[in-house]
Chains A and B, each alone.
Chain A
């Protein structure tokens, strides 16, 4: 008899608990209607690209504080919730799930890496939360198989464009005829740049004399560089990140290679100068902006004053991502993730890295010019704004 009672009691408890979990939902969403707007951030806080990720998150936090001090957006305070993706696309999906389902953010800023920005697309679509990638330049971040991803946006230009800019500048302005390419075979970013550099450079009448690969994490590039040296190119295109750039540039000079070096937005960093100042002297970089542009000085000073560190590239693009989001929230008129995503599609603002006019079919900023920077004695010297014809 007592067994029966226990069974009935247990069933009752189970039913009640099920009922309670059902009720718990509206109670959870209630805080979003309060005085804060939760915005997610994701990026590398550890790993190779931690320097950039930390700077980017710091910039976002600084800007939110500034905006909040001025009364916030739509009368509400902005709150940044950031998690580390460790530069790992799988981890990025976990972070995206956590931000959308647990923290219930209205939009996400970051990540800086293309691989991570690509992997989170389906999570965003399920949660109907928009993401503004900062330095994710791979085309697949916003467009896949010719179809635009509804919740993925970005503030930077894309790899084909970057590769084409580098090739155009090398062929038309610097008049180089023979180019070598060294790239990271395991990296989408590096592959994309290498592919479009090769295409444009050949279209412009140049020749790719040798194309060599390595794998991210490698520290010795001399086998490949010895081969490049034998081909004797005018320029070596190195579309990868500053740590590998510093190592490979040093080793190239050690082997007696005198060719000019060229790279993309993976280069700019103070670390590159400390490590390979002489080796990269005279190299050309395609970048998102000119660090000495008077218009960006204010942001640089504010950041330096707050964190006592120099603002890295990610900070500038992080700034524009925040501007873009705030503008979208204001135009949406309410804190609703879907309405914000809709508003993002019609963005047309002026950021520190140039005009950001989002294309409806691409979710990329259209017609953004690239800056050509030359490294001279450890300084980033702006050459010109350039877009290939």
Chain B
């Protein structure tokens, strides 16, 4: 029983990391209908921004956290303006967007490696919160896990409020429903796209800093985001609750496979299960449409 609960806690903690990252994919997908693979690179930058704000500029943690998120929001918008906008104006097929996004992701990773002050070595965040975990009987819960859970929950709640109850949020919903019709109704869809990328960037920054604090910072963080992307597809790309639920489920499935079946075959078993679910429900758990999710 203790083992079961501990593995459940482990799974929730891993799932919440995926969830923070998956939200950014879903946000952009809901409007633009393509998978923004540059998101992984932006998350990596978020982790580095946070790290340098804390160690080089000696910001306090909340300040560093918020500034890192703002910087990544800016970065995400910058990528949109330079890489995607020209494609949008030329009405390029979606495949081009995906390839462009992959290019941006590879560019960002190599940019970090090429900057001598950063380089390929991995960095460790200073210890802001004690590594000593909470003990509940025989169970252990990491302090950072609790913090991450709270921050993610608050940010997601704010995001849902923003989308459901503000005027801009309504415009986002309309745009995600039909971008051409919304433009005809007087919504400045170009602004909406900027807002969406800024929001995605904000979440990338939050995810990056928390990831860096929990694990470490290195140029290949983007690799982990592949799994969160899969979680977003699993939950139903374009759906925010879907991204969160898909991520948490993926975390739990992974943990229980390694805990009870075999850690050697974890990915094999976990992903066969995912493919199975997608075969039954091609649009993911919460997805509305059956469009191409490439």
**A residues engaging B (CB < 8 A)?**
45-48, 50-51, 54, 185, 212-215, 217, 219-220, 222-224, 226-227, 230, 243, 246-247, 250, 253-256, 271, 274-275
Nearest 3 CB-CB pairings of A with B: A50-B120, A213-B264, A223-B258
Whether B6 is near chain A, meaning CB under 8 Å from some CB there, is yes
Contact of B220 among A217, A223, A230, A275 (CB under 8 A): A217
**Interface, chain B (partner A; CB < 8 A):** 3, 6-7, 10-11, 13-14, 17, 110, 113, 119-122, 124, 131, 133, 140, 142, 215-216, 218-220, 223-224, 254-256, 258-259, 262-264, 266-267
Partner of A226, one of B3, B124, B218, B223: B3
The answer for the CA separation of A51 and B7 in the assembled complex, in Å, is: 34
A47-B121 in contact given A223-B10, A226-B10 (Cβ < 8 Å): no
Once A217-B224, A223-B7 are accepted as A-B contacts, the answer to whether A243 and B120 lie under 8 Å apart by CB is: no
Which of B6, B17, B223, B267 is the most central at the interface, judged by chain A CB atoms within 10 Å of its CB? B6
Is the beta-carbon distance between B263 and A214 smaller than 8 angstroms? yes
A213 touching B3 in the complex, CB below 8 Å, given contacts A46-B113, A47-B220, A247-B216: no
Q: Across the interface, which residues of A come within 8 angstroms of B131, CB to CB?
A: 250, 253-254
User: Cβ of B216 and Cβ of A212 under 8 Å apart?
Assistant: no
**Assembled-state Cα–Cα distance A230/B1 (Å):** 12
Which label, helix, strand, loop or mixed, suits the secondary structure of the A interface?
A: helix
What would 5 more interface pairs be, CB under 8 Å, given A227-B3, A230-B3, A255-B133? A51-B121, A213-B263, A223-B258, A226-B10, A271-B121
Is B216 a contact of A223 with CB atoms below 8 Å?
A: no
Judging by beta carbons under 8 Å apart, are B254 and A48 in contact? no
Q: Which A residues are CB-close (under 8 A) to B140?
A: 254-256
Give the distance to chain A from B40, nearest Cβ to Cβ, in Å: 12
In the complex where A46-B113, A47-B120, A223-B259 touch, is A215 in contact with B142 (Cβ < 8 A)?
A: no
Whole-angstrom CA separation of A45 from B113 in the bound complex = 10
Chain B residues with CB under 8 Å of A226's CB are: 3, 6-7, 10, 259
Question: Within 8 Å CB of A220, what residues of B?
Answer: 10, 13-14, 17, 215
Given contacts A51-B120, A212-B263, A227-B263, contact A275 B11 (CB under 8 A): no
Query: B13 to chain A: which residues have CB within 8 Å?
Result: 220, 222
A271 partner residues in chain B, CB cutoff 8 A: 121-122
**Which of A213, A223, A254 touches B254 (beta carbons < 8 Å)?**
A223
* Residue of B with least CB distance to A49: B120
Closest A residue by C-beta to B254: A223
> Given known contacts A46-B113, A256-B140, is B264 in contact with A227 (CB within 8 Å)?
no
Whether the Cβ atoms of B142 and A254 lie closer than 8 Å is yes
A227 engages B259 (CB within 8 Å): yes
Contact yes or no, A46 B120, CB < 8 A: yes
Across the interface, name the chain B residue whose C-beta is closest to A211.
B264
Give the complex CA separation of A219 and B264 in angstroms.
15
Task: Given A185-B264, A220-B10, check contact A254 B220 (CB 8 Å).
Answer: no
The distance from the CB of B25 to the nearest CB of chain A, in whole angstroms, is 19
* B219 surroundings in chain A (CB, below 8 A): 46
Chain A nearest Cβ from B199, distance in angstroms: 25
Chain B residues whose C-beta falls within 8 Å of the C-beta of A54 in the assembled complex: 120
Contacts of A230 in B (CB 8 A): 3
- Enumerate 23 A-B pairs (CB-CB under 8 Å) in ascending A order: A46-B110, A46-B219, A50-B113, A50-B120, A185-B264, A212-B258, A214-B258, A217-B220, A219-B224, A220-B14, A220-B215, A222-B10, A223-B7, A223-B11, A223-B255, A223-B263, A227-B258, A243-B216, A247-B216, A250-B131, A256-B140, A274-B124, A275-B124
Q: Which residues of B contact A47 (CB under 8 A)?
A: 120, 220
Most chain B CB inside 10 Å of its own CB: which residue of A45, A214, A217, A226? A226
Q: Which residues of B contact A275 (CB under 8 A)?
A: 122, 124, 216
Residues in A with CB closer than 8 Å to B264 are: 185, 212-213
Q: Do the beta carbons of B258 and A224 come within 8 Å of each other?
A: yes
B251: shortest Cβ distance to chain A, in Å? 9
Q: A274 to B126, alpha carbons, bound, how many Å?
A: 10
How far apart are the CA atoms of A247 and B110 in the complex, in Å?
Answer: 24
| Closest residue on chain A to residue B4 by CB atoms | A226
Contacting residues, chain A, for B254 (C-beta < 8 A) = 223
> Which residues of chain B are within 8 angstroms of A224 by Cβ–Cβ distance?
258, 263
A275 to B13, CA, bound (A): 21
Q: How far is the CA of A46 from the CA of B223 in the complex (A)?
A: 15
Closest to A222 in B: B10
- B142 (CB) vs chain A CBs: closest residue: A254
- Nearest chain B residue, comparing its CB with the CB of A215: B267
Residue in chain A with minimal CB distance to B141? A254
Please measure, in the bound complex, the distance between the C-alpha atom of A51 and the C-alpha atom of B218, giving whole angstroms: 12
Measured CB to CB, the closest approach of chain B to A193, in angstroms, equals 15
CA distance A271 to B216 in the complex (A): 11
B133 touches A254 (CB 8 A): yes
B293 to chain A, nearest CB (A): 23
B residues in contact with A217, CB < 8 Å:
220, 223-224
Tell me how far the C-beta of A211 lies from the nearest C-beta in chain B, rounded to whole angstroms: 8
For residue B218, which residues in chain A have a CB less than 8 angstroms away from its CB? 48, 243
- Which A residue sits closest to B255, measured CB to CB? A223
Taking the nearest CB of chain B, how far is it from the CB of A23, in angstroms?
Answer: 40
> Smallest Cβ distance from A124 to chain B, in angstroms?
27
Give the CA-CA distance A224 to B265 in the complex, in Å. 12
Contact assessment for B215 and A219 in the assembled complex, using a CB-CB cutoff below 8 Å: yes
Determine how close the nearest CB of chain A comes to the CB of B105; give it in whole angstroms.
Answer: 15
User: Which residue of the partner chain A has the closest CB to B133?
Assistant: A254
Instruction: Report chain B residues within 8 Å CB of A246.
Output: 124, 216
Complex Cα distance, B121 from A48, in Å, reads: 7
**CA gap between A243 and B122 in the complex, in Å:** 8
What distance in Å separates the Cβ of B281 from its nearest Cβ neighbour in chain A?
A: 26
User: Nearest residue in B to A44 (C-beta to C-beta)?
Assistant: B120
Residues of A within 8 A of B224 (CB): 217, 219
Q: Which B residues touch A227, using CB under 8 A?
A: 3, 258-259, 263
Q: Which residue of B lies closest to A230 (CB)?
A: B3
What's the minimum C-beta distance from A249 to chain B, rounded to whole angstroms?
12
Contacts of A46 in B (CB 8 A): 110, 113, 120, 219
